Amino acid sequence: MNALSAPGRTQRRRPLILVSACLAGHKCRYDGRDNAVEGIVKLARRGLCLTVCPEQLGGLPTPRIPSERKGACVIAKDGTDVSHAFRLGARKALWLAQKEGLRVAIVKSRSPSCGCGSVYDGTFSHTLVAGNGVFVDLLLKEGFQVWTEENCGELLAGTEEL
């Protein structure tokens, strides 16, 4: 399965929301696990989400060495600069969202790609700093409304009748 298909998808509909694939149950995190959120998994199964993993779209493998933002760069824990892959994946994910006419996203908080409002500081010490992931910076620049799994409850509640 890739980061653009929904696990267990039962209906084909036009997606309404762009979603970080890990939140929809895809095992695409750096450690090969997911960050599934029940309400988002249900949306994906109904065909209402376009799920993307910018890191995979940028050519990074799963599993992969964890990475964090350090200023404008993204650095892997082994010191490798992986900024290019993160920027490439962000551009590809944005293109897919725009192709579908999407303007709303639910992303994984604190991620170097998808973090919104705070990200890890690049020291791999679990220290948060104000900022966004590479993909979210791009989404906001393009005028998307961006939510995280931590604040999207109201948005998800509004999709139950769809």
Count how many domains the chain has: 1
Interhelix angle 83-99/134-141, nearest 10 degrees: 40
Q: Look at residue 159 in the predicted model and tell me its pLDDT.
A: 81
Whether the ω angle into residue 7 lies within 30 degrees of 0, i.e. cis, is no
In this predicted structure, the answer to whether residue 148 has a pLDDT above a threshold of 80 is: yes
Residue 63 counted as domain residue: yes
pTM of the full structure:
0.90
Q: What is the pLDDT at residue 162?
A: 66
Task: Specify if 6 maps to a domain.
Answer: no
5-17 per-position pLDDT tens digit: 445 544 556 889 9
pLDDT digits (tens, 9 = 90+) for 15-48: 899 999 999 999 999 999 999 999 999 999 999 9
β strands within 6-113, DSSP E: 17-20, 49-52, 67-70, 73-76, 104-107
CA dist 105 and 52 (Å) reads 10
Rounded to an integer, what distance in angstroms lies between the CA atom of residue 51 and that of residue 102?
12
**Is the residue at 3 inside a domain?**
no
Tell me, yes or no, whether 2 lies in a domain: no
For range 56-85, the mean pLDDT: 98
What the block records as the tokens of 141 is 């620049």
The CA R_g of the chain, rounded to the nearest whole Å, is 15
**What pLDDT does residue 1 have?**
37
- Residue 45 in domain: yes
Is the pLDDT at 4 greater than 50? The verdict is no
